[in-house]
Amino acid sequence: MRGPHDVGGLPEGPIDAKPHDLSFWEKQIDGLRGVIGGKGIVTTHENRRYVEGLGDDAYESLTYYERWTAALSRQMVEKGILTQAEIDARVRDVRARLAASGELESETAGKAP
Amino acid sequence: MPHDHHDHDDDHHHAHDHAPPQPDDKVHSYYQILGIALKELLVEKGVVTAGEVRAAIEKRDQTTPAFGAKVVAKAWSDPIFRIRLLTNANAAVAELGFPMTTTQLVAVENSEDVHNVVVCTLCSCYPRELLGLPPAWYKSRAYRARIVQEPRAVLAEFGTHLTDKVEVRVHDSTADMRYLVVPQQPAGTEGLSEDELAALITRDSMIGVTEVNWSA
C-alpha cells in the first residue's frame, strides 16, 4: 500500500518553482533536527519513519517543517526524553507569552489542531 | 524580522516606528509554537545547547551551491580529479573540503548522449553538504511525482529541451545515497579558470533540471 509520502509516478499538475526563503522558525527546526541527528539521538531513518507515519491527513495538510516538528515531538516522547504532558504545558506557556507580547497573528492562531 | 518591514504610507511613518510586527512575522501555526516549546525543553534538559543549534543554522546558511560548483569546475578542469569524482565521489569532495560522512555520494555525468536528473520521490534527500538546503520545488509533491513519470516534460518546464536521441536518467535519492549531476561543460569555456567556470555552474544544473549556458 502506498503511504502518503510515496508519490513517485502519480499524476500531478505544474511545478511551482518560485523560490521560498526559509523563515527563522523553519531554520530553527532544521538546526535542531541537525543537532539531534548529529548526536545520534534520532537517525535520518527514524525521522523518515515518523514523518511517513503522521497519517494521510496530517502529511497532506502540514508544510515540510511542520511535519518535521510533529515528528520531532513524537520522537522525543517515544524515546522518553520528554513527556507529552510537559510538551503540552510548555506549548501553553509559549502561546500565552506570544499572546501577551502581541506576536500571535490572531486570537485563535497557534491553537492545537 | 518584525521591524524590517516598512509601511509605504509616509503620513503614517512615525506612527509605524513602533508598529506591531507584520502578519508574516507573527506566529500563526501551532507547529511554530510546538517548535519553540521543544527547543526550550531540550535546551533546559541539556539534550542540546542553544549554541549548537545556532551553529547548525549558521553552517546551513554558509553551505551554498558554490561548494558543488567548485567540485564540478574542478572536474571539468582536471581529468584525474574527474575520474576520482566519478568513481569515489565521497573521497573526491572531501579532498576539496566538503566531507560527506553520513551518506554515499554518487556523481553522474552528463554527455552528448545522456542527461541525468535527481529527485527524492519519498521526501527530500539531497546533497546538502554541496548544494545547501533543497529548493521548495525539489520537495514539492508535483516534482517528486512527475519527474520519474514524464522527465522530458518536466525538464522542458525548466527550459531544458532534449532531443529524443538523448537518454534521460532519473536518479531517486535515498536517506543513504545522494547524487550530484556533473553538467556538460559548455563549448568555448575550455580556456576559463576554475573560478570562472564555477561562476557559471548553477544549483539547478547540478540537480539536473537545467544545463550550463555560456556565451562569450
Cβ <8 Å between B30 and A22: no
Q: Is pLDDT of B14 > 60?
A: no
Q: Is pLDDT of B108 > 90?
A: yes
Cβ <8 Å between B20 and A112: no
Which of B18, B30, B58 is most worth mutating to test chain A (most A CB atoms within 10 A of its CB)?
B30
What is the structure's pLDDT at B138?
96
Are B191 and B98 found together in one domain? yes
Which of B5, B18, B25, B33 is most worth mutating to test chain A (most A CB atoms within 10 A of its CB)?
B33
Under DSSP, is residue A29 helix (H, G, I), strand (E, B) or coil? helix
**Residue A11: inside a domain, yes or no?**
no
Are B44 and B74 found together in one domain? no
How many structural domains compose chain A? Answer: 2
**Could you tell me the residue range of the domain that residue A111 belongs to?**
83-113
Q: Which member of B29, B77, B111, B120 is catalytic? A: B120
**Could you tell me the residue range of the domain that residue B42 belongs to?**
23-62
Number of CB pairs, chain A paired with chain B, less than 8 A apart:
181
- Answer with the one of B46, B62, B78 that is the final residue of a domain: B62
Q: What is the pTM of this model?
A: 0.86
Are B34 and B97 found together in one domain? no
B chain contacts of residue A41, beta-carbon cutoff 8 Å? 47
A chain contacts of residue B53, beta-carbon cutoff 8 Å? 28, 31-32, 35
Are A66 and A88 found together in one domain? no
* Digit-coded pLDDT (tens) for B125-170: 999 999 999 999 999 999 999 999 999 999 999 999 999 999 999 9
Query: Which ipTM was obtained for this model?
Result: 0.92
A chain contacts of residue B60, beta-carbon cutoff 8 Å? 27, 30-31, 34
**Residue A74: inside a domain, yes or no?**
yes
How many structural domains compose chain B? Answer: 2
Are B94 and B136 found together in one domain? yes
A chain contacts of residue B135, beta-carbon cutoff 8 Å? 17, 19-20
Q: What percent of chain B has pLDDT over 90?
A: 84
- Answer with the one of B8, B36, B62 that is the final residue of a domain: B62
